[in-house]
Amino acid sequence: MTAGSPDHQQHTCLGIIEVNSACNMACPLCFSEAGPGFSLTLEEAEAMLDDFVRTEGSPEVVQFSGGEPTIHPQIIDFVKAAKDRGIPFVMINTNGKRIAHDDRFLEQLNEARPSIYFQFDGFDAETYRIIRGEPGILEEKLRALDRLASIGLSVTLVPAIERGVNEHEIGKIIELAIRHPAVQGINFQPAFHAGRHMQHDPLQRITIPDVLKLIEQQTAGKFLVSDFIPVPCCFPTCNSVTYAFIDGEQVTPLSRIVNVYDYLDYISNRVLPDFSMEVKRALEGLWSSSSVPGSQKSAEQFAVSCQACGIPESFTIGEIAKNVLMIMLQDFMDPWTFNQKNLMKCCKEFLLPGGKQIPFCAYNTVGYREQARVQLQAMESRRKQARRDGQRYEPQAVVFDMKANAGRPESASLQQIEPVELR
């Protein structure tokens, strides 16, 4: 199934471009199975961005991922290329290693101003030994966060939560997010088991409801299960989010002040008064997979949504942005939880050379990634030759044959769906 096919029922809120397969870590938990393979050219990235703009019209968010995208020599050029195409929110997904040590790269980030999607699984050495294979990495991660704060970049922490490993650290991660000046969001991701992963019991998988209960328990009621509301653009079980205004020790979740369900219209089209429509549009923007923590747009939407919150009138939009914390929970599917109905509502898509857009969980679960990796890796010799010769590289399309995945039980429901070109 590709985004834009008749079977897909959602547009792309978030486009993801994997710029390379190489990484400076060897995490035991890695859905992309990072390792040597390919490194996209600027020409390929620009063509993929052009396809994204063509299909979406005015896309809001693109994320550069990997591998580890910060070790790609042209990652800053990729960020600039996205912004040059009018994409307002450009994210880099990173483990933070290069940011912690490379002063020149920090200067380049300061100039390019991407948002940072930052791998952060907790505080215990054992957590990082099991999930990342590096028990002593915490100090490096905290140094990277402090350096990002020094240049004022917005950071979303991304903890992978694995049962029996780091679920006891959820409250401490939230406390860090409340205190740290760089952090303006958290995206908790229950560990899903696609790509490279540890041994696990699929019947004991940690879920969004599990994490929500742990948030309530470990924050002593600062956040309650009832504060979190599903994101309408996704399947309801895939994504849940809340926003809170932080004023010193006082934490005020928006959903306790505004009845968000009154405005997020999941199934009907009710006529609302003008003010309600303004609040509805603002809340729909916040409760969307395209919302970016710390951005001026999300701060403006929060201010409109929260006109009765008691936020000081003297606060600027910038000050509101610095005092608003987003907590999101994102549950991705794997071969044990794959469900085509969820997939049809997916709005997070991998962008590929040639214009195809593949829903995140399909790409990682039913064989798309493996086919794309073989083709992208086979193109690498031509990329290297073009670089040596100083020639422009002509991008080649990635194509799929889903019949090749006939032996995968999780792909059986997709066998009759042929990938189609986007409009």
Q: Which range has the worst mean pLDDT, 104-108, 163-167, 293-297?
A: 293-297
Reading phi first (left if > 0) and then psi (alpha if -120 to 50, else beta), residue 369 is in alpha
- Percent of the chain past pLDDT 90, that is, above it, reads 53
pLDDT band with cut points at 50, 70 and 90 for residue 293: low
pLDDT band with cut points at 50, 70 and 90 for residue 267: very low
Q: Are 138 and 119 in contact (CB under 8 A)?
A: no
Tell me how far apart the alpha carbons of residues 136 and 158 are, in angstroms, rounded to a whole number. 18
260 pairs with which residues across the strands? none
Q: Which two tokens stand for residue 166?
A: 């780091």
pLDDT at position 300? 54
What value does the mean pLDDT take over residues 118-131?
97
Q: Is it the case that residue 308 has pLDDT exceeding 90? A: no
Four-residue CA torsion sign, 205, 209, 210, 212: positive
Dump pLDDT digits (tens) for 17-76.
999 999 999 999 887 888 889 999 999 999 999 999 999 998 888 999 999 999 999 999
Tell me how far apart the alpha carbons of residues 328 and 189 are, in angstroms, rounded to a whole number. 9
240 pairs with which residues across the strands? 230, 329
Q: Are 380 and 39 in contact (CB under 8 A)?
A: yes
- The residue among 356 and 279 whose pLDDT is bigger is 356
List the helix and strand counts (H, then E) for the chain: 15, 13
pLDDT band with cut points at 50, 70 and 90 for residue 288: low
Q: Is it the case that residue 411 has pLDDT exceeding 70? A: no
Strand (E) positions, 104-214? 115-119, 155-158, 160-161, 183-190
Q: Is it the case that residue 5 has pLDDT exceeding 90? A: no
Four-residue CA torsion sign, 368, 369, 372, 374: negative
* Domains of the chain listed by start with CATH number: 1-207+331-423 (3.20.20.70)
Instruction: Phi first, then psi: give them for residue 145, nearest 5 degrees.
Output: -60, -45
pLDDT at position 273? 28
pLDDT band with cut points at 50, 70 and 90 for residue 307: very low
The set of residues, in sequence order, having a beta carbon less than 8 Å from that of 109 and lying 6+ positions away, is 76, 99, 116, 148, 151, 153
Dump pLDDT digits (tens) for 355-366.
999 988 888 888
- The residue among 263 and 92 whose pLDDT is bigger is 92
Name the strand (E) or helix (H) holding 65: strand 61-65
pLDDT at position 291? 54
pLDDT at position 168? 98
Q: What is the mean pLDDT of the chain?
A: 82
- The residue among 18 and 7 whose pLDDT is bigger is 18
pLDDT at position 24? 95
Tell me how far apart the alpha carbons of residues 76 and 105 are, in angstroms, rounded to a whole number. 9
Q: Which two tokens stand for residue 165?
A: 């490993």
* 230 alpha carbon, distance to own chain's centre: 16
- The residue among 195 and 399 whose pLDDT is bigger is 399
Nearest of 61, 120, 121 to residue 92 by alpha carbon: 61
The three-state secondary structure class of 56 is: helix
Q: Are 68 and 24 in contact (CB under 8 A)?
A: yes
What value does the mean pLDDT take over residues 368-372?
93
Q: Is it the case that residue 84 has pLDDT exceeding 50? A: yes
* 269 alpha carbon, distance to own chain's centre: 29
pLDDT at position 194? 78
Nearest of 346, 400, 409 to residue 372 by alpha carbon: 400
DSSP 104: H
Instruction: Phi first, then psi: give them for residue 52, nearest 5 degrees.
Output: -65, -45
DSSP 386: H
What value does the mean pLDDT take over residues 6-13?
65
